[in-house]
Structure 1
């Protein structure tokens, strides 16, 4: 068993034949054919580990819907194509640890098939099983766009706040967080990241020069073989992405985020990407889902540069 549901049917909603949209070019596929594509989408409808407000289990469907109506053309790089969809990971009715174990089995098979996965979350607890399989193929760095550090210690069960502690304990070699907010990060967790050799880039640094900010994060992990990239949508200013578990003021702008995602995706060491914490029940007029879809589009546009 693949641990994946059948992929959805894709269709671009525009009636203009010149409007090529992602819904027109994304194709349902299987693990056997996954390497025919530059990247494959993988939905993860789960929010059982969220510390705050729930709703991210509806994220994959909403992101796909908004992406289907997004045009494929990037002004500087041309059109994005060659994208597949593997469907959703089957989520068991289990404790968080059990869910992480099951997801990791499926994700391992995706990497083993030679695919480049783009995970549509879902909550941040699945960052651990999404990235952990890469630890077996050499040294790994994790680049997190997030308002928080998410390195809490696991107590009774993992949560959306524990994935990077879990990855460090599993052997993560480098870690950087871009967009971590002042007064959102406990001193103990900031010190933990520093003890692990991690690097934190604040929104103020991003505002000065987004590309330089992401290069600063990448330079801090220049010795690793591969890099896993995670986008928690709460890294954005709350007005831009209200439909997340923990929206807060003082975040990144969408333009800053899109510029950085395009830039980091072009680095050939990047091995996987995820968008997490899109919670449609908490959203305002699909605003957050639309931002998530555009984030995926910008990442895919940058990814094609390195393929």
Structure 2
């Protein structure tokens, strides 16, 4: 895949030497990935948003996020690589998700952590396909070994900051196999069911006005940990952190996904579905720190993949939402390795 590195441009401060560097001076193309680091992938797609009857424009998000991230100060140790974009230009969302899954799986096999810039939240099904295939391959390697260890189903914790469950069933009829930005976690649940894996899903920041009773009942049936936006306050923060910590402790790996529509419209105007209420950044940030602090017994971050969804440059104001997305990427990257 061709990688356009021209997007990585910004200010330079040569008088400050190595301590004056910014992201655009450090990010390398994926074909120069000679050591473990962080692999950035883009998912230029809003076909899922269109199918979900939302306002399109998220297709342009990966490049827009990179442009803002490029000028942020470099405070990291591990290398960062750009693996380019998967683009959905023909309406074939399923193929685009499959291709994203292949790239995510390949990066994980190369022992990179992965950050994916969407795109609509249909990116989640592509990201998880990559995680799932990577762990299936690891599982197969154990099954094929001679050590006689029993196969253990991986416990993947999905943590989604989002105003929506995105657990909808695909529409009935001829389109029954076609998902949208509203179906990715239903598709993930089906994947887990088919492979006899536990489905562990936490969704934080829900707008009850935007999720039907049917979705809440489905979430309860699936054992989803969730919190509505009105419950995510400073007073409730310790309780939420405790619940989230217990959830994380019961997981071997984490997949972190942030739908930017979880933030108030005043903070994130450039999204596919702006939030009338939302959750403030000062509530989400300490929860992110809890997630980012989670380590495996080997001392590595439990997070395999982090992605962001629903940034819509078409409706942004003064790059406000792009700056928020870049800040989130910067924060996660600093803690991933």
Smaller-chain TM-score range? Answer: 0.7 to 0.9
Q: Which deviations, in whole Å up to 9, do the C-alpha atoms of 1:183-223 show, x marking residues without a partner?
A: 22111111111111111023344322657534523423533
What does residue 208 of structure 2 align with?
A: 182
What does residue 231 of structure 1 align with?
A: 258
Q: Which of 83-92 and 242-251 deviates more?
A: 83-92
What does residue 170 of structure 2 align with?
A: 154
The counterpart of 2:308, out of the listed 268, 272, 275, is 275
Q: With structure 1 as the length reference, what TM-score do the two structures score?
A: 0.87
Contact kept, 8 Å, 1:264 with 1:302, in 2: the verdict is no
Q: Which deviations, in whole Å up to 9, do the C-alpha atoms of 1:146-203 show, x marking residues without a partner?
A: 0110000012221100000000011052000011123221111111111111110233
Residues 140 and 253 from structure 1, CA distance in 2 versus in 1: closer, same or farther, beyond 3 angstroms? Answer: same
How many Å separate the matches in 1 of 2:327 and 2:71? 10
* Root-mean-square deviation (Å): 2.2
Contact kept, 8 Å, 1:201 with 1:217, in 2: the verdict is no
Q: Which of 45-54 and 94-103 deviates more?
A: 94-103
SS, match of residue 84 in structure 2 = strand
SS, match of residue 89 in structure 1 = strand
1:6 CA drift (Å): 1.5
How many Å separate the matches in 1 of 2:220 and 2:90? 36
The counterpart of 2:115, out of the listed 110, 115, 118, is 118
1:66 CA drift (Å): 0.6
How many Å separate the matches in 1 of 2:334 and 2:242? 18
Q: Which of 111-120 and 287-296 deviates more?
A: 111-120
How many Å separate the matches in 2 of 1:93 and 1:111? 28
What does residue 142 of structure 1 align with?
A: 158
How many Å separate the matches in 1 of 2:238 and 2:9? 34
Q: With structure 2 as the length reference, what TM-score do the two structures score?
A: 0.80
SS, match of residue 301 in structure 1 = helix
What does residue 26 of structure 1 align with?
A: 27
Equivalent runs, 1:246-285 vs 2, <5 Å: 246-267=273-294, 268-285=301-318
1:100 CA drift (Å): 2.1
Corresponding residue pairs, total: 294
The counterpart of 1:129, out of the listed 126, 131, 144, is 126
Contact kept, 8 Å, 1:144 with 1:231, in 2: the verdict is yes
How many Å separate the matches in 2 of 1:162 and 1:272? 19
SS, match of residue 226 in structure 2 = strand
Contact kept, 8 Å, 2:161 with 2:204, in 1: the verdict is yes
1:127 CA drift (Å): 0.3
How many Å separate the matches in 2 of 1:223 and 1:62? 36
Report the structure number with the largest CA radius of gyration: 2
1:34 CA drift (Å): 6.3
How many Å separate the matches in 2 of 1:53 and 1:218? 35
Structure 2: unaligned runs, 5 residues or longer: 136-153, 193-197, 295-300
Contact kept, 8 Å, 1:278 with 1:288, in 2: the verdict is yes
Contact kept, 8 Å, 2:167 with 2:184, in 1: the verdict is yes
1:85 CA drift (Å): 1.5
SS, match of residue 322 in structure 2 = helix
Q: Which of 92-101 and 234-243 deviates more?
A: 92-101
How many Å separate the matches in 2 of 1:110 and 1:89? 14
